[in-house]
Homo-oligomer: A and B are copies of this chain.
């Protein structure tokens, strides 16, 4: 007998931004695996089992969850945001790819969610209204020179750039160096958005020009969005400023 592995995304944190599809998967599952702050977002019943873990153990966690699902349990793997964006869906696929044959017959149900950059963008206007890219700044997962090469090519291409995992205690200098590199390619006036905990009670959204962007404004819960040369700021009376990237390309980056 084989069970089911649900891989769900809670969205940015507010229950109002979690889809009904994810809520249904959570209601159907028996055991829950994930980084503990994401599990804390769910209102689990007393009969549902919670196995919280630290942030760094994605592949181990996926293997344990697959073992349980292969044994017939309905298991739920929980990510914040969307499970497919720098989160658990890739770790689960990798575990299936490299694991024992029986993991390949586990029913896998992945439910998408609102990923951080979309939640941050919605709070400030439409910075992702034109072509954009998403880069994880963690050099635990790829060499730093690959990251800097991608940042440079993305800026040269005119993409708006969303940075995930911008900073942590173990990686304190990477975001500052990324800003430094981007200042050599992009105008100093390009808006940078620090979007922390979008949609949650402790939300904090700040905008500043790239020339003044200070990496200390970011923490682990921050998604940093760097505009393109086309990105504009709209000042409004009695309302917060808007930041948007026009749908039409006017050629400002040429």
Contact = CB atoms under 8 A, between A and B. Distances in A.
Contacts of A107: 239
Q: How many A residues are at the interface, by size bracket?
A: 35 or more
Interface stretch (A119-127, A183-191, A201-209): A119-127
Contact of A125 (B12, B89, B132, B236): B89
Contacts of A249: 141-143, 146
A16 B21 contact: yes
A156 B247 CA distance: 25
A131 B134 contact: yes
A111 B122 contact: yes
Contact of A150 (B96, B101, B108, B131): B131
Interface stretch (A34-42, A63-71, A77-85, A211-219): A77-85
Contacts of A123: 110
Interface string A219-250: 00000000000001011111100101111110
Nearest to A85: B128
A148 to B, nearest CB: 11
Contacts of A115: 118
29 contacts: A14-B21, A17-B19, A17-B21, A19-B19, A82-B122, A84-B118, A84-B121, A84-B126, A84-B128, A85-B128, A87-B129, A90-B130, A90-B246, A93-B234, A93-B244, A94-B244, A94-B246, A94-B247, A104-B235, A104-B237, A104-B239, A110-B125, A130-B141, A131-B134, A131-B135, A131-B150, A150-B158, A150-B159, A153-B157
